[in-house]
């Protein structure tokens, strides 16, 4: 995972993570140092710096120039480490863009209850509009990644994606109420109701990344260069990877993305619903702990409403 976030995301003084979840594990530089000394002593003398990002699942620390360490914030997410360790090496040969390369796998120790991992560092900056030379090209590059992923043999693949939209209705409407004052609630409610009219998915599962937000796309030299955070990798509804139409792109990129991916109307409407659901849950939940993540989610909602008004 790259994080030329060093420029815009200042390191914590002591590496202590801003806690975002109830029951979150205490993680700081001291813990990381102890884990390295015990399990990978040959790496323990390298500089360790906490990396601030909009990620909410893992705490991230850069280890020297070559590596970074990821530690799950909650025990319930520990299985993602095992999933990445098992599947990233199998997916990598089929993917043109760079993806995370696991280097070493850590075990629970020193009061830290989860497996954790060390990865090779990837250069690049999290996707921002001003870093992209051509949004249509970025859309094409992301579509190529999605199609490459879909073509990979899914034998043994874990299940991926979200539940049907109707099963998310109660949680989504509760989030709308919680976010009143931060969003156009009547317009958002109408957009959500429209999404619920989409027929449920009944097709063949495909490999999906499942979390193609700006923070999980890295850019270098004006082009998309890497995709990170494969904790949600699995086989499921292809609509899950259509979400960047709103979470990443503006209108021009969105049109190019849809055309290149060849998305049918039902999948498009279903994906819009997933994008809206995800963004709406983020806004009230992270309002105090991750303002940058909330800003991204509000932008997604805005893009959805723009499309709904111009449709």
Domain residue limits, the chain: 4-123, 126-310
**Cα distances (Å, whole numbers) of residue 110 to 27, 36, 70, 95, 244:** 11, 11, 16, 37, 39
Q: What is the pLDDT of residue 8?
A: 33
Q: SS3 of 216, please?
A: helix
Average pLDDT over residues 227-233: 95
CATH class of residue range 126-310:
alpha beta
- pTM, entire model: 0.92
125 alpha carbon, distance to own chain's centre? 14
Question: What are the phi and psi torsion angles at 283 (to 5°)?
Answer: -60, -55
What is the reported pLDDT for 14? 60
CB 19 within 8 A of CB 289: yes
- DSSP characters for 41-106? GGGTTS-EEEE--S-SSEEEEEETTTEEEEEESSGGGTHHHHHHHHHHHHHGGG-SSB---EEEEE
CATH number (3.40.50.2300, 3.65.10.10, 3.30.200.20, 1.10.10.10) of 4-123 reads: 3.30.200.20
Mean pLDDT, residues 113-129? 96
pLDDT of residue 311: 67
pLDDT tens per residue, range 150-189 = 999 999 999 999 999 999 999 999 999 999 999 999 999 9
pLDDT higher than 70, residue 1: no
3-class secondary structure, 126: strand
């Amino acid at each position: 995972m790259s994080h030329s976030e060093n420029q815009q995301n200042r390191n914590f003084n002591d590496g202590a993570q801003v806690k975002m979840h109830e029951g979150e594990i205490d993680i700081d530089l001291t813990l990381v140092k102890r884990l390295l000394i015990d399990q990978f002593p040959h790496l323990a003398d390298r500089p360790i710096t906490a990396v601030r990002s909009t990620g909410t699942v893992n705490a991230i620390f850069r280890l020297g120039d070559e590596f970074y360490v990821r530690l799950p914030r909650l025990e319930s997410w520990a299985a993602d480490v095992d999933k990445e360790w098992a599947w990233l090496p199998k997916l990598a040969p089929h993917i043109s863009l760079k993806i995370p390369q696991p280097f070493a796998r850590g075990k629970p120790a020193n009061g830290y209850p989860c497996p954790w991992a060390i990865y090779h560092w990837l250069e690049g900056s999290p996707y921002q509009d001003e870093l992209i030379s051509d949004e249509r090209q970025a859309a094409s590059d992301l579509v190529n990644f999605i199609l490459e992923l879909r073509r990979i043999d899914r034998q043994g693949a874990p299940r991926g994606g979200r539940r049907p939209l109707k099963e998310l209705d109660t949680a989504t409407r509760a989030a709308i109420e919680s976010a009143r004052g931060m969003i156009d609630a009547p317009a958002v409610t109408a957009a959500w109701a429209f999404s619920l009219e989409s027929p449920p998915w009944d097709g063949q599962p495909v490999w999906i990344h499942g979390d193609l937000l700006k923070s999980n796309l890295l850019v270098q030299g004006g082009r998309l260069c890497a995709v990170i955070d494969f904790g949600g990798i699995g086989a499921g509804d292809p609509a899950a990877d259509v979400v960047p139409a709103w979470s990443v792109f503006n209108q021009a990129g969105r049109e190019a993305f849809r055309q290149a991916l060849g998305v049918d109307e039902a999948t498009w409407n279903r994906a819009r619903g997933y994008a809206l659901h995800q963004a709406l849950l983020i806004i009230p939940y992270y309002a105090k702990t991750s303002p940058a993540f909330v800003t991204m989610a509000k932008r997604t909602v805005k893009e959805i409403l723009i499309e709904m008004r111009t449709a």
